[in-house]
Amino acid sequence: MENTELKEMANKLRRHVIIMTATAGSGHPGGSLSAADIITALYFKVMRHNPGNPQWQDRDRFILSKGHAAPVLYAALAESGYFPIEELRTLRKLDSRLQGHTDRNLTPGVEMSAGSLGMGLSFAIGVALAARLNAKDYWTYVLLGDGECQEGQTWEAALSAAHFRLDNLTAIVDRNRIQLTGWTRDIMNLEPLSLKWQAFGWHVIEINGHDFNQILTALEEARKIKSQPTVVIAHTIKGKGVSFMENNPAFHGKAPTLEEAERALKELERRELR
C-alpha cells in the first residue's frame, strides 16, 4: 500500500474500533485509536505474514504487549483476511473468538495471550531468540504501552534484549502519555524515556506515531541496526481521530455510547473525505 492507502486503512481500523466497543458496551478505545497507524503500517506494508496460514513458520511476529488494545489488532487481522470482518461485532461476547484481551488459542493471527501488562517484551525476546536458535530470518515486533514501561519486568527484559544483542527485535512504545487513571507524568513519570532505553543498550528512534513516512522510515532503519535491539518511541495521541476522545483519560477503558459512536463515526468519515 502507498501512504494514501495506509491512511485510509488506518481510518477504517479506527471505525471498526468504535463500532466494536460501542456494540460490546465495553473495551479500550483510546489506546486502540492511538496505535492504529502503527499497526496499519506493520500489517499492510512492513510485515511478512500469511492470513491463509497463520502458523507459517517464516512469518514475522507481532506481539501486542498492551493487550487491552485488542480491538485495533482484531480490526487489522480481519481486514487482512484472518477471519470475517462481520466477526468483529462479536467483541467480548460469550463464546466469541475476540475477547477483551488477546488469546492466541482462540484468535487466528494472535501470537501472545495478554492480560497483565509488562510481559510482552519478555515474550518477544523469547520469540526473537527462537529465530536465532532455529536459523530463521523472521522479525519480531512488540508494541508496548507507555504505562507498562513503569513496570520492572519491562526493564529486566530490556536488559536481556541488549545482553543477547537481539538485532532481530523491534520494540515500539505507543507514547500517548495516558494510562488507566490519568497522565503518566502524574502517576509515574517516565522521562527521560529515550535516555533510559539508550542506557539499557538499545538503539532509540523517536517519531510522530501518526506520520506514515516517519513510521516506515523508522522500521526500515531498525532492520539495518546490528548487534543491538531497536526501540521506536512513537509519540501519539490517545483517542486519535475522535475529537472528544483525544487526550481524554476517560476513554482509556470506557466504550462510547451509541450516540457517541455515531458522532465519532461521522468525524472519522469526514477525515477520510479530506
Task: Report H helices in the chain.
Answer: 3-24, 29-34, 36-41, 70-80, 120-133, 152-163, 184-187, 193-199, 212-224, 258-273
Give pLDDT, residue 142: 98
Q: Could you tell me which residue, 272 or 251, shows the higher pLDDT?
A: 251
Please state at what angle helix 3-24 crosses helix 258-273, rounded to 10 degrees: 170
Q: How far apart are CA 7 and CA 56, in angstroms?
A: 28
148-172: pLDDT as tens digits: 999 999 999 999 999 999 999 999 9
pTM: 0.97
Confidence of residue 274 (pLDDT cuts 50, 70, 90): low
231-260: pLDDT as tens digits: 999 999 999 999 999 999 999 999 999 999
| Radius of gyration over every alpha carbon of the chain, rounded to an integer in angstroms | 17
> Which CATH code is given to the segment(s) 3-273?
3.40.50.970
Residue 64, Cβ neighbours under 10 Å: how many? 24
Q: How far apart are CA 14 and CA 31, in angstroms?
A: 11
Name the residue ranges covered by the structural domains of the chain. 3-273
**Res 272 pLDDT > 80:** no
Least confident of 66-70, 129-133, 158-162, 269-273: 269-273
Give pLDDT, residue 204: 98
Confidence of residue 273 (pLDDT cuts 50, 70, 90): low
Give pLDDT, residue 270: 87
